[in-house]
Amino acid sequence: MSPTKKKAMIRRDHPDLSISQQCKLVKLSRSAFYYMPVGGSRATLELMKTIDRAFTKYPFFGSRQIAAYLRRDGIVVGRHQVRRLIAKMGLEAIYKRPRTSQPHPQHKVYPYLLRGMTISRPNQVWCSDITFIPVRHGFLYLVAIMDWAIRKVLSWRLSNTMHADFCVEALNEAIARFEPPEIMNTDQGSQFTGSAWPPTLTEAGIRVSMDGRGRCMDNIFIERLWRSLKQEAVYLEDLTDGFKAHCVIRDWMIFYNTQRPHSALEHKTPREAYRADRDLKLAT
């Protein structure tokens, strides 16, 4: 049986089996499933890519501003279509606004724990977010786990679904490779409020913190990561499929962690900042 037919047998909303479990049952590797892009019409995919470029350049734009911005370039699109595609892409503008939307009604809402906190050392606070990655015939989603203080990307995963599985896999990898943090902060997306993410944190002794809707600065560091990744790698490459996207993102993440100086870290790389903190602990 071909991988495409096996993929068609997998239900993203299966009530009892996770996507990973279904992949095992049909003998399909998780990467073969996750790296198959979500499709759509050529016109819609091109519009989504154009919206993503605009959003990456102006992350404070909402649907009305993006629609107006695109019309200036001769792309006629309505605000409601932009809003629908932004939701499909998992994007959210960075600006304060009234709290008009709510998390999944059956999911617990966790408090925001970072108000007034000085975050100055590794493994004090981690953060996570999801972004849209365009490829030639569709798109994927990318999740990353980042250390807030030193901006180091601890783990990441690509997926063609917004199901929580790939987020939890990235989280488990980060916990296995590094000491669990004191706090994990995310937005209130269903991937982070559902049945899989919070228990993984609490079982590891990690306190759960979640942004209030529309808080303009809570995800600023990881939003900057997305902007740099897309401007320096994703938009410069022809991402033919999920496997090419994985290779490009992997190489850029290595570059970001090990070679790219960061002004907020006194021009150290994230890896150098992490090592410096560990050396300081050993010295004291």
pLDDT tens per residue across span 225-260: 999 999 999 999 999 999 999 999 999 999 999 999
pLDDT at 213 over 80: no
- pLDDT tens for each residue of 170-186: 999 999 999 899 999 99
pLDDT at 275 over 50: yes
Q: Which helix (H) or strand (E) holds 274?
A: helix 270-283
204/32: higher pLDDT: 204
- pLDDT tens for each residue of 142-163: 999 999 999 999 999 999 988 8
State the alpha helices, DSSP H only, in the chain.
3-8, 19-25, 30-34, 42-57, 63-72, 79-89, 165-177, 190-193, 197-203, 220-232, 242-258, 270-283
Contact yes or no for 142/129 (Cβ under 8 A): no
Task: Indicate the fold that domain 125-280 takes in CATH.
Answer: Nucleotidyltransferase; domain 5 (3.30.420)
Can you tell me the distance from the alpha carbon of 75 to that of 265, in angstroms, rounded to the nearest whole number? 40
Q: What share of the chain is helix, strand, coil (3-state, %, to 5)?
A: 45, 15, 40
Of 189, 193, 187, 167, nearest in space to 107 by CA? 193
pLDDT at 215 over 70: no
Contact yes or no for 142/161 (Cβ under 8 A): no
